[in-house]
Amino acid sequence: MWWSTWRDRAAGLIGLVPHPRARQRPGRPRPDRPARAGRGPMRVVYDEAVVHETFSLKARVLQRSMRIVFKPLLRYTPINDRSLAAIRALDRFSAKRPRSRYVEPVEYRLGGVRVEAMTHRFGPDSDMTILYLHGGGFFSCGIESHRRICERLALKTGATVVSVDYVQLPEGAIADSVHDAITAYAALLDQSTHPDKIVVAGDSAGGYLAMKVAELATRRGLQAPAALLGFSPLLSVDPDREDKDVMRIIRSRDAYLPVGRLAKIRERWLPEGASIEGYASPLHATAYISSPTFFVAVEDEMLRPEVEAMALLLAGRGVEVETHLWRKQVHAFPVLADVLPESEMALQLAADFARRAVGELDRPTTVDPDTHQEPIAGLVPDSA
């Protein structure tokens, strides 16, 4: 999210650390409360979730670094226009990171919204287009900070990846971000020679926008996305609330998302008088979403319970859902494709899902050898 520049720097510091895979020793979770992450086999709510139990040393060091150093810093950073401006200035350093020699981004406008499109010189043949919506808590990051994940998706899918520079705080609230996202999607449908092969993807706040695009496409009578890819997607404006009908079987111990700050951030997301088209929370909009959906979440991140809840609700309506749960990772870790082997695997699995959804997967689906499925541990009521 908005602290991604510092996270990426920390990740760079451990770039030379070897990454042998390791397993956690089994433990016995207490029956009277949600289990702690890492104690025994990962428990799941969505019984078809693919569980990735093993993790690299790089991932563990990064997670520990975020929890010890950056989470306390984020807990006390003020949320005001001055601090947002400072965060934006830090994000501009992301543009200085190395870029692929095999991709030449092209900037233009879709329905008046600034976007950057790219194809990879060595990607497979494809007629697919991926509309990518970056994360950043609706007030940080942008095309520059997420250029590398877009380059990797272009390489692995062969698609033209279109990254959207939607409006953020303080210039606009979530409603304005949603407006830009659906505007860009509608314009892409009009311009595309293969509108039936448009995939919408996003991480964190961008995952929220991807789901809103799917919902609003149905509400407006537009063609639905061919598939949705959500990397640690934000699926409600109040994921910190624990009084909703969402099953929680793991105590949230997010590596760097400070739960206590969300109430303050939400005041900026939803200013008085603001109105978001459709549902404010995509978790409530599953009746409007029919696109095959791919989810990635981390075992103990704050956003995981609602990812599994939405997976259950979509699957209950017959929508194809593929959900992957990773242990010992940081929120939205697929963005770190240059650093973590798990990020590379997550993006390959997402690419396979997207190519299968548009009828272009011409080989067996990639399988992570260190995965399994767990028996169901709980249910989410239909009212979630």
Residues with catalytic annotation? Answer: 204
Counting Cα atoms < 13 Å in the Cβ hemisphere of 208 gives 26
Could you give the CA distance from residue 106 to residue 132 in angstroms, rounded to a whole number?
14
Phi/psi zone of residue 328: left (φ > 0), alpha (ψ -120 to 50 degrees), beta? left
Rounded Cα distance, 110 and 116, in Å:
10
Q: Whose CA is closest to 331, among 235, 266, 255, 250? A: 255
Angle between helix 205-220 and 174-191 (nearest 10): 60
Location of structure tokens 């697929």: 334
* CA 89 – CA 87 distance, rounded (Å): 5
